[in-house]
Amino acid sequence: MGVAEVLQSTSGTQRDAECHLSRYTTLRLGGWATRVVTATSADDLVRGVREAGERGEQILVLAGGSNVVIGDAGFPGTVVLVRSRGLQVVETDNDTVTVRVEAGEPWDDLVAHTVANGWSGLECLSGIPGSTGATPIQNVGAYGQDVAETITGVQVYDRVAGTTGRIEARDCGFSYRSSIFRYSDRWVVLSVDFRLARSPLSGPVRYAELARALDVAVGDRVPLAKARAAVLRLRAGKGMVLDPNDPDTWSVGSFFTNPVLDQADYERLRERAGELGEPPSWPGADGTVKVSAAWLIDKAGFGKGHPGPEGVVTISTKHTLALTHRSGTARTEDLVGLAREIRHGVQARFDVTLHPEPVLINCAL
């Protein structure tokens, strides 16, 4: 076959369960796939995608499943599971090290490795679930760092040209939670190169909440392990570190991105907020303002623990940006219905449109 495993969703066979996509998402939601292929190397990944394409099948490349919402109807085609592992140092100098990381390498394992080796640049991204190959797709970021700062290039399979190659960081179109990969299925990420500083200290702490947790000033540096431990504590307190025994972590993390408004829209938001006070915000590029989606959701009346249909899905009891599947019996449509309710409520109260952060497969808001 050229891949580690191929499973067919055929009614009445023991293998049916392996084709149910709830097994492969942190939400534990999603319907059936026609076929599931497991790829354990970059070559396997290319071959699995290419062969499915030659059969004329729809293809979904799925790694950690931490940033995807799959509809109850599942996926009518081949799902290629990315399970490649490993990293290698490809370049060093006195100040930096460049590592090439396979797409299926668990992200937090990579971060832990870099911290342990005294490589600075990813420490504030600790605790984020999912795989390394997914990080350039949405330009993963948290606590003042994002991967666009350290990525130098991405090795890809181009499904249109049928070739493998490298896309330099400058050509990846990185922006807030987005890239050229985000809304295109042309490229399959095979591995990612990161250039990291050879330093026992973190980068300058940019995020005020993290600085308070570390008891340092914004802009200070701290030992890498200290920064990682603080980020893990903060994320765990918000239900953002996966825990099989905690339904608050059965989510895709932040369901909505922070809205980015131009100055006129931001002033209108301030007026509509009125007695609620100043909306938390941060300056963006070209005079734009990034606004806290969590604040908008909460002030629109959707607090922590707000229930969806029959309570089978709820807003996390720890963080208003996370929508959780708590029952083991919910449908994707229950979760999407709660997301619609929140989006409509925020729109009505503040005239601001929230946009989903995860990729929606066979479902829509």
Question: Do residues 68 and 25 touch, judged by C-beta distance below 8 A?
Answer: yes
315 alpha-carbon distance from chain centroid: 18
**Residue 341 designated active-site:** no
**Residue 281 designated active-site:** no
- Give me the catalytic one of 177, 195, 326, 343: 177
Token pair of 213, please? 């947790």
- Give me the catalytic one of 9, 84, 131, 254: 254
Contacts of 225 (CB under 8 A, 6+ apart): 115
| CA dist 362 → 159, 255, 284 (Å) | 21, 17, 33
Concatenate the DSSP letters of all residues of 192-216 into one string.
EEEEEEE-SBPSPP--HHHHHHHT-
**Residue 50 designated active-site:** no
**Cα 306 from Cα 318, distance rounded (Å):** 11
**Cα 188 from Cα 133, distance rounded (Å):** 9
**Cα 89 from Cα 200, distance rounded (Å):** 18
Cβ-count burial 248-280 (b if 16+ within 10 Å, e if not): bbbbbbbbbbbbbbeeebbeebbeebeeeeebe
Residues forming the active site: 177, 254, 357
